[in-house]
Homo-oligomer: A and B are copies of this chain.
Amino acid sequence: MKLGIQDFYPEELSHCFGCGRNNPNGHQLKSYWEGEFTKAKYTPKEFQTAIPGFVYGGLIASLIDCHGTGSAALAAYKNEHREPGSEPALRFVTASLNVDYVKPTPIGIELILVGKILEITNKKVITHIEVFANDVITAVGKVVAVKMPDSFIAK
């Protein structure tokens, strides 16, 4: 499996339910570059349903959220011409999340998330994300991610 930016997060910041490699209960999403776009994949489990046959919208929001912060970190390292894992670590949190549910997302297949960086500044990255099921876009999201403030580090 391809390494994701999340594989380079510092140990103590890798417990996120959505994308932390140290969270055995979570989704363990991995975000990586594919050309100019960022990509992640996830196959929803049978119980992550909304109406039988379709994926739970909250899960889709979660995947977009985590792929958004992952894409932000990818973009920030690239912007600084640094390799993921080099110091200081870049880690982002979500300031705002918007999801439009274009059509029902069928369950039982792998979903592909494709991110496009819309804007990047020193403190903020905005990403547009499309969710594909069988090559059809079922949801579209926008994530505003900001560099993690110190207040987020639990004492």
Please tell me how many copies of the chain the complex holds: 2
Interface string of A41-80 (1 = CB under 8 A from B): 0000001111111101111011101100000000000000
Question: Which of B23, B99, B151 has a CB less than 8 Å from the CB of A97?
Answer: B99
A101 to chain B, nearest CB (A): 6
What are 6 residue pairs bridging A and B, where the CB atoms are less than 8 Å apart in the complex? A13-B51, A17-B49, A18-B56, A23-B47, A104-B151, A104-B152
Please, how many angstroms separate the alpha-carbon atoms of A58 and B23 in the complex? Answer: 14
User: Chain A: residues with CB nearer than 8 A to chain B?
Assistant: 12-13, 15-18, 23, 25-26, 47-54, 56-59, 61-63, 65-66, 93-101, 104, 148, 151-154
Question: Which of B56, B63, B65, B152 has a CB less than 8 Å from the CB of A17?
Answer: B56
**Chain B residue contacts of A151, Cβ below 8 A:** 104
Contact yes or no, A65 B61, CB < 8 A: yes
Question: Which of B62, B94, B98 has a CB less than 8 Å from the CB of A62?
Answer: B62
Contact yes or no, A61 B16, CB < 8 A: no
Question: Which of B53, B93, B153 has a CB less than 8 Å from the CB of A57?
Answer: B93
Contact yes or no, B52 A15, CB < 8 A: yes
Contact yes or no, B148 A51, CB < 8 A: yes
Please, how many angstroms separate the alpha-carbon atoms of A56 and B98 in the complex? Answer: 16
**Chain B residue contacts of A104, Cβ below 8 A:** 151-152
